[in-house]
């Protein structure tokens, strides 16, 4: 199948075949990363601009390693705070990025929808590395790849996502990657941190909401814990972090309610002792480090599909 | 008057609709202070192109219209524009700050036709009660932008399925409905003439319906955009509430960002029902033009507002064509309804002529308003204003071009 998409902004309108194509390509990239010399010329002569308008180390480094493993030239543009604070508009930045002539713009931005704004105004391919609460498609795809590796075919599998769903681009992109592959997703977390519509019977296709985490985990095939921002407590959405940890934190006893060996994922960085106990984060079920490794491979796969010039072999 | 007589004859010959000139209770003309977005002159001309021969200018300018001198200045500039008749609305509170009442009697004497802190509600319940009571002495209605600011804080669109999907902070319907419930309660004790601006939810319509059934002297308006567009437009839909979803445009288009936000199709339907049964008295545009710099930004940073004057009539005609309302009721809500809210007689020699079959495509270059911020850009609409007369004088005439 020939790759058709110019940008990766969200996977909410992707077909199962498109997601599987990325995952299969990711498998090939894992092989590249397992070679003694982790480098292929697939993007030789291409320029990848990493535009991170919101603080990030892990995702930015992951994309940088991915681009370099494909022999692309990589440029970093970082900006602290919002574009408004620094006195330069996003429109100015887009014009600059376009003038710089990058082939791919990888961008992270605090405003939901910002990658659409950029994609509409540039000739480059745009990869969304996280926009506000909206989407983080490479995280969703790497979670799907990681879960497929652990569970095989995801059709009929039940995956729990627990935590601050409302403010989580990871949750949205996990849903958008897992549901097309046939998985069902159980969302769990405090009612104040789940979108009102999703609590009132209008959950996204393939998902349900179960506020009781124990019930959500009973017999589940995997769980993804989300990072809890402590500022949610200050905003009045939670009585206390302690109560959150007790009610929605992943303890050893809780994860044991899932099927034997059901894996535990977390997009990082973790608040150990809040949304996940240290013993779970570093225990036998944890795939959290595998996620980091797979993240590089999935980003290589997408860069290659969007801008590859040579075969990866 | 021969021009008007000729026009009426041409209208009958061409199948054009004539109606008394439309009265818009709610327009932002941006002058003084934001002349890059609109001026009284450009706004008054754009209003004529939309069929509005009388427009009420909201006072959220810089400075805000809170003194007799500023009211007089708006009137003078409106007269100088020589287009739509411009009636100034003055603020409820000094500087629109919601702290102390403006000099309402003096403002009315200077020519203010109503009072409003539009864009901001008067959050202090006691102060709002005082405003309603004191405005009785000024014999003017109070136009309230009803919104609970704590419930809507940070919101950029309607809270619902679409905001959940897009990861945008929503403003719940309850932010409007609880504020309207408060305002109706205060109007019961205060008396006075409460007029609710841009009612947009099914719950709000029901609250007004019940208050009117109880005999409360309250009036309400709805905008053309809240009678046609839905929150799905933020996600890229361009289907009217009564249409099936079709081709989508890029999501997060900032021209869909407006306060109150675009609601669900069920809310649009309820607004039409309220309009048809008389719960809603007037259709007002909330014409809110913005310079491109305020809109060519991230969705959450963009200014609220849609440029509405010139697309109001075709939007309403589309709703009528879909069977959601009738022309007679729409015309009443554009003429006698708003006149009653203002307590004025319908200007006798104002006239609007509409070609209901004219098909045109909305383009930035075709809009007289400086504000090109409408999500209808690029869309083909049916129905267009071809002429307007103000005080018997033909001030807009596209009939030669249209024939």
Burial of A284 (0-12, 13-18, 19+ CB in 10 A): exposed
Best probe of the B interface among A111, A118, A130, by most B CBs < 10 A, is A111
pLDDT of residue B399: 86
- Cβ distance A112 to B299 less than 8 Å, yes or no, reads yes
pLDDT of residue A80: 58
Distance between CA atoms of residues A128 and A10, nearest Å:
7
- Cβ distance A112 to B251 less than 8 Å, yes or no, reads no
The enclosing H or E element of B150 equals helix B149-152
Buried b (16+ CB within 10 A) or exposed e, A217-250: beebbbbbbbbbbeebbeeebbeebeebbeebbb
Number of helical (H) and strand (E) elements in chain B, helices listed first: 15, 14
pLDDT of residue B175: 98
pLDDT in tens, B38-49: 999 999 999 999
- Cβ distance B297 to A90 less than 8 Å, yes or no, reads yes
Q: Is pLDDT of B403 > 50?
A: no
Residue B292 contacts A, CB cutoff 8 Å: no
Query: Which candidate from B167, B172, B298 shows the least CB-CB separation from A133?
Result: B167
Distance between CA atoms of residues B319 and B52, nearest Å:
19
The phi, psi pair for A124, rounded to 5°, reads -75, 160
Q: What is the mean pLDDT of residues B208-237?
A: 98
> How confident is residue B72, by pLDDT bands cut at 50, 70 and 90?
very high
Q: How far is A84 from chain B (nearest CA, A)?
A: 8
What amino acid positions of B are annotated as catalytic residues? Answer: 286
pLDDT of residue A85: 55
pLDDT in tens, B372-400: 999 999 999 999 999 999 999 999 999 87
Closest chain A residue to B296, measured at CA: A91
pLDDT of residue A310: 66
- Cβ distance B298 to A109 less than 8 Å, yes or no, reads yes
pLDDT of residue B1: 56
Tens of pLDDT, residue by residue, chain A (313 residues): 789 999 999 999 999 999 999 999 999 999 999 999 999 999 999 999 999 998 888 999 999 999 999 999 999 987 655 454 567 899 999 998 888 889 999 999 999 999 999 999 999 999 999 999 999 999 999 999 999 999 999 999 999 999 999 999 999 999 999 999 999 999 999 999 999 999 988 999 999 999 999 999 999 999 999 999 989 998 999 999 999 999 999 999 999 999 999 999 999 999 999 999 999 999 999 999 999 999 999 999 999 999 987 665 4
Query: Which candidate from A111, A116, A202 shows the least CB-CB separation from B301?
Result: A111
Q: Which residues are within 8 A (CB) of A299 and not within 5 positions of it... i.e. 6 or more apart?
A: A62, A63, A66, A67, A127, A138, A142
pLDDT of residue A311: 66
> How confident is residue B6, by pLDDT bands cut at 50, 70 and 90?
confident
Q: How far is B382 from chain A (nearest CA, A)?
A: 29
pLDDT of residue A86: 62
- Cβ distance A113 to B165 less than 8 Å, yes or no, reads no
In total, the C-beta contacts within 8 angstroms joining chain A to chain B are: 68
Query: Which candidate from A89, A172, A195 shows the least CB-CB separation from B297?
Result: A89
Closest chain B residue to A94, measured at CA: B297
Of the candidates B386, B116, B143, B189, the residue with the CA atom closest to the CA atom of residue B282: B143
Q: What is the mean pLDDT of residues B264-278?
A: 98
Q: How far is B173 from chain A (nearest CA, A)?
A: 12
pLDDT in tens, B297-354: 999 999 999 999 999 999 999 999 999 999 999 999 999 999 999 999 999 999 999 9
Q: What percent of chain B has pLDDT over 70?
A: 99
pTM of the model: 0.96
pLDDT of residue B401: 63
pLDDT of residue A82: 47
pLDDT of residue A312: 58
Residue B168 contacts A, CB cutoff 8 Å: yes
- Cβ distance B250 to A112 less than 8 Å, yes or no, reads no
Q: Is pLDDT of B181 > 50?
A: yes
A6 near A35, Cβ under 8 Å?
A: no
Query: Which candidate from A91, A116, A197 shows the least CB-CB separation from B250?
Result: A116
Q: What is the mean pLDDT of chain B?
A: 97
């Amino acid at each position: 199948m020939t790759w058709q998409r110019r940008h990766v902004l969200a996977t909410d309108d992707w077909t199962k075949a498109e997601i599987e194509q990325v995952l299969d390509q990711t498998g090939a990239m894992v092989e590249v990363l397992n070679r003694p010399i982790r480098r292929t010329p697939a993007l030789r002569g291409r320029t990848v601009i990493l535009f991170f308008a919101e603080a990030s180390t892990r995702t930015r480094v992951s994309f940088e390693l991915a681009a370099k493993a494909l022999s692309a030239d990589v440029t970093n543009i970082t900006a602290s705070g919002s574009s408004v604070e620094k006195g330069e508009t996003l429109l100015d930045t887009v014009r600059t990025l376009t003038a710089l002539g990058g082939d791919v713009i990888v961008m992270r931005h605090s405003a939901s929808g910002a990658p659409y704004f950029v994609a509409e105004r540039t000739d480059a391919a745009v990869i969304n590395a996280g926009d506000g609460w909206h989407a983080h498609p490479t995280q969703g795809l790497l979670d799907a790849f990681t879960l497929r590796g652990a569970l095989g075919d995801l059709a009929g599998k039940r995956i729990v996502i627990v935590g601050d769903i409302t403010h989580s681009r990871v949750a949205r992109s996990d849903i958008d990657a897992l549901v097309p592959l046939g998985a069902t997703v159980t969302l769990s977390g405090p009612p104040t941190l789940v979108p009102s519509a999703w609590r009132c019977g209008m959950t996204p296709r393939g998902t349900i909401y179960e506020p009781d985490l124990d019930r959500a985990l009973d017999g589940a095939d995997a769980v993804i814990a989300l990072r809890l921002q402590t500022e949610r407590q200050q905003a009045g959405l939670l009585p206390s972090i302690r109560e959150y940890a007790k009610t929605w934190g992943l303890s050893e006893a809780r994860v044991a309610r899932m099927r034997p060996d059901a894996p535990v994922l977390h997009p990082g960085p973790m608040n150990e002792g809040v949304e996940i106990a240290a013993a779970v984060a570093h225990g036998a079920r944890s795939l959290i480090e595998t996620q980091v490794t797979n993240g590089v491979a999935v980003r290589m796969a997408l860069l290659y599909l969007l801008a590859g010039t040579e075969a990866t072999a | 008057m021969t021009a008007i007589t000729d026009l009426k004859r041409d209208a009958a010959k061409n199948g054009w609709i004539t109606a008394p000139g439309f009265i818009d209770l709610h327009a932002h003309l941006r002058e003084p202070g934001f002349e890059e977005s609109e001026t009284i002159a450009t706004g008054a001309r754009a209003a004529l192109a939309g069929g509005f021969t009388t427009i009420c200018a909201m006072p959220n300018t810089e400075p805000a219209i809170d003194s007799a001198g500023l009211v007089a200045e708006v009137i003078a500039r409106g007269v100088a524009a020589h287009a739509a008749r411009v009636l100034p609305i003055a603020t409820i509170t000094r500087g629109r700050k919601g702290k102390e009442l403006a000099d309402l009697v003096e403002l009315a004497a200077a020519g203010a036709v109503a009072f409003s802190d539009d864009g901001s509600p008067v959050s202090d319940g006691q102060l709002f009660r005082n405003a309603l009571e004191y405005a009785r002495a000024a014999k003017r209605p109070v136009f309230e932008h009803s919104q609970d600011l704590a419930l809507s804080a940070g919101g950029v669109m309607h809270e619902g399925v679409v905001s959940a999907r897009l990861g945008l902070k929503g403003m719940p319907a309850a932010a409007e409905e609880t504020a309207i419930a408060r305002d109706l309660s205060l109007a019961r004790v205060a008396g006075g003439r409460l007029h609710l601006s841009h009612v947009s939810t099914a719950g709000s319509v029901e609250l007004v319906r019940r208050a009117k059934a109880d005999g409360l002297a309250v009036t309400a308006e709805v905008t053309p955009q809240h009678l046609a567009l839905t929150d799905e437009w933020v996600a890229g839909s361009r289907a009217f509430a009564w249409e099936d979803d079709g081709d989508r445009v890029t999501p997060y288009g900032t021209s869909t960002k407006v306060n109150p936000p675009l609601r669900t199709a069920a809310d649009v339907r309820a607004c039409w029902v309220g309009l048809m049964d008389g719960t809603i008295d007037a259709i007002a545009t909330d014409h809110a033009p913005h310079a491109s710099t305020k809109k060519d930004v991230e969705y959450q940073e963009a200014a609220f507002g849609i440029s509405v004057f010139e697309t109001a009539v075709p939007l309403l005609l589309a709703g009528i064509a879909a069977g959601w309302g009738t022309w007679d009721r729409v015309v009443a809500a554009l003429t006698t309804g708003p006149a009653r809210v203002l307590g004025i007689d319908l200007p006798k020699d104002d006239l609007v002529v509409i070609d209901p079959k004219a098909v045109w495509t909305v383009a930035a270059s075709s809009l007289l308003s400086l504000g090109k911020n409408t999500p209808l850009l690029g869309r083909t609409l049916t129905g267009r204003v071809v002429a307007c007369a103000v005080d018997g004088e033909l001030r807009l005439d596209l009939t030669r071009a249209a024939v």
